[in-house]
Structure 1
């Protein structure tokens, strides 16, 4: 099995080409990425407050109790930093996984001129498919949809941490060109 070549990478979302097929893949890493953000904030806030408290204690401007509290805050900041690095490494490992091991959200077969869903069922002829970014009801992030005569189908749902970017334009250019 050959590895699909990446044509557009929006972090969590990938558009790849496997011969005459255009694949849309969702790597699905939002929870770990949110955790990295939160741990970064914890590292900065607790670690920063801990360093300031420890520095103040060394210069003699605060009490022993403040020194202990500063030490605990500094330890929380360091632990958050270590956890953030560990989770970030797992995200990088997931990102380096071969795309051929992931199930595509949608397949656009340019040879047979059809749009297939994740289960391999024909949804519509490619000539009747167009791509749009639309706002979601419950999020400030947009989603990517494939508009067909049978209605709009969600391909990818962005989050404030993972945008669908300009994948609609990329897909339009790829799917509606002869190869």
Structure 2
């Protein structure tokens, strides 16, 4: 299963923070649109723009900056807004990417009762897998994980800048037929 296990007939069950749960017949696929980088970039550039425009406008209005307030607003905008547009365009492109082209992190095969890695190799029987959240060091957003008796597999690392976890774990639990936790 080196090619994507997702067919054109697949449908998105749920999407949050660029992580998409895809149902394709007996398969439930966890895939990633890779939105975190562009989302963080857009946030940072947007914040720098707000701070720069606010600071320069305040300085121009109080007379501390020998510029007209319009120049104070335009100067940072000329540099930062095109960069912001690049990040926004990257986000739009990633969101329009077809389901078959997304990066797969795990496949839950309900018919075979197996959790598979992205290449199609079996990892564990679904009866030994519990889906849930786990705290990520250095992030305010939890990771989506599959817990097995011998290890924990990170399925996705949603970012608060791209929308956070949402109900990814709850929807995945229902989709693979696990009892509610």
Shorter-chain TM band? 0.7 to 0.9
Q: What residue ranges of structure 2 are gaps of 5+ in the alignment?
A: 1-6
Q: What residue ranges of structure 1 are gaps of 5+ in the alignment?
A: none
Contact 2:141 2:159 in 1 (8 A): yes
How far off its partner does 1:3 sit?
4.5
Q: How does 1:59-98 map to 2 (within 5 A)?
A: 62=63, 66-67=66-67, 71=71, 74-98=74-98
Larger radius of gyration: 1
Alpha-carbon displacement from aligned partner over 1:4-40 (angstroms, at most 9, x marks no partner): 2111110311101111110101222212111101111
Structure 1 vs Structure 2 CA RMSD: 2.4
Aligned partner of 1:139 in structure 2 is 139
Rounded Cα–Cα distance in structure 1 between residues aligned with 2:172 and 2:45: 35
Aligned partner of 1:46 in structure 2 is 52
Alpha-carbon displacement from aligned partner over 1:131-170 (angstroms, at most 9, x marks no partner): 1101123333211111123321111123342422221111
Q: TM-score of the superposition, structure 2-length normalised?
A: 0.82
How far off its partner does 1:73 sit?
5.7
Aligned partner of 1:107 in structure 2 is 107
Rounded Cα–Cα distance in structure 1 between residues aligned with 2:132 and 2:124: 16
Q: TM-score of the superposition, structure 1-length normalised?
A: 0.83
How far off its partner does 1:47 sit?
2.3
Q: Secondary structure at the match of 1:105?
A: strand
Asked if 1:153 is matched to 2:159, the reply is no
Q: Secondary structure at the match of 1:37?
A: helix
Rounded Cα–Cα distance in structure 1 between residues aligned with 2:58 and 2:138: 40
Distance 1:137 1:86, change over 3 A: closer
Rounded Cα–Cα distance in structure 1 between residues aligned with 2:32 and 2:9: 16
Asked if 1:26 is matched to 2:32, the reply is yes
Q: Secondary structure at the match of 1:104?
A: strand
